[in-house]
Amino acid sequence: MIAYLGRRLIQSLLILLGVSLITFALLYLLPADPVRQIAGRSATPETVENIRRQLGLDQPFIVQYWHYLTRLLGGDLGRSYIQRSEVTELIVSRLPASLLLMVGAILCELTIGLSMGLIAAVRRGSATDQTLMVASFVGVSAPQFVVGLLLLYVFAVRLGWFPIGGYGSWRHLVLPSLTMGILGAGWYARMMRSSMIDVLRQDYMRTARAKGLARGAILFRHALPNAILPVVAMIGIDIGVFMGGIVVVESVFGWPGIGQLAWQAIQRVDIPIIMGVTLVSAFAIVLGNLLADIIAPFIDPRIKLR
């Protein structure tokens, strides 16, 4: 176990290093000159060169990357070119909002997805099953931008149940969580359904029924705990999907998280922020996968960590 963990940690670090190198190289190769963006239209060539020197952007690629890495180890992600603030400060101030949204989204997708999957499995082959599966398919394929605006229009503008975007109370959290959750709910409904059907086929289920247990007891005490575990173990992997989703959903709802920060930075080619957010997201994804792998054997003893 310890050896496995050590190996996985080294792997994770290598992945992060690779991500940083590739992102840094891609941004370096962009045919856009950040110095000219900082310097503005009225700057003289001397001003431009001065700024370039101060930022160390006149150095060769490998030197720039090395400087970035050494600063990174000290927790310094550099200063934003456009906002001129510490990237660490910008990300840290926005992380809580993104994490909150993530928790909200996980709650939504589990509640909706698991119940849909459960009902569909129990009513397997019926019209209810088919309707639910079509709905899950729509949920998986609907663009989040559209879902978000639709929810916003119906529940905030027309019905006035929730605020029109923004951040601050639980009422602000509902619509963006739902928008994020609908995508995941679709996946979970499908996984839950097949997992549940598998479990219902098992011998011990037949035994339980033969013993004359009530239907509710069979489903909730014997089937559900067995069916739900492999599904829940997927949450760690979900983080990758979330990281993609928050960029869109946070922008639609004016949610002050790192997705919104990333989107603005991409539009303005604010390289230090793009780097910072990419690394933080990569870290979250690697961590999520690692957790999913570590949890797996506890859920299913047949899996061994090696």
Question: What is the binding site for another protein (CB under 8 A)?
Answer: 30-34, 36-48, 50-51, 54, 79, 82-85, 89-90, 93-94, 97, 149, 152-153, 156-157, 164-167, 250-257, 260-261, 264, 267-269
Min dist CB 89 to another protein, Å, is 8
Q: Identify residue 249 by its one-letter amino acid code.
A: V
Least distance in Å: CB of 113 to another protein?
28
Closer CB to another protein, residue 57 or residue 205? 57
CB-CB neighbours of 233 under 10 Å: 18
Return the number of the residue (29 or 127) whose C-beta is nearest another protein.
Answer: 29
The single-letter code of the amino acid at 104 is G
Compare residues 182 and 258 and give the one whose CB is closer to another protein.
258
- Closest to another protein by CB, 219 or 249: 249
Core vs surface per residue 103-136: b (16+ CB within 10 A) or e: ebbbebbbebbbebbbbbbbeeeeeebeebbebb
Closest separation in Å from C-beta 46 to another protein: 6
- The residue behind tokens 């004359």 is 212
Minimum separation from the CB atom of position 243 to another protein (A): 17
The CA distance from 49 to 46, in Å, is 5
Residue with smaller CB distance to another protein, 172 or 190: 172
For the stretch 45-70, what's the b/e string if a residue is b when 16 or more beta carbons lie within 10 angstroms of its beta carbon?
A: eeebeebbeebebeeeeeebbeebee
Nearer to another protein, 4 or 263 (CB): 263
The 3-state DSSP class for residue 9 equals helix
Across-strand partners of 86? 79
Give the residue among 270, 302, 279, 304 at the shortest CA–CA distance from 37: 270
Does residue 86 sit in helix, strand or coil?
strand
Tally of residues, the chain: 306
- To the nearest whole angstrom, how small is the minimum distance from the Cβ of residue 50 to another protein? 4
Q: What is the token pair recorded at 15? A: 């992945």
Task: Give min distance, CB of 287 to another protein, in A.
Answer: 23
Nearer to another protein, 167 or 283 (CB): 167
Q: Please state the closest distance from residue 165 (CB atom) to another protein, in A.
A: 5
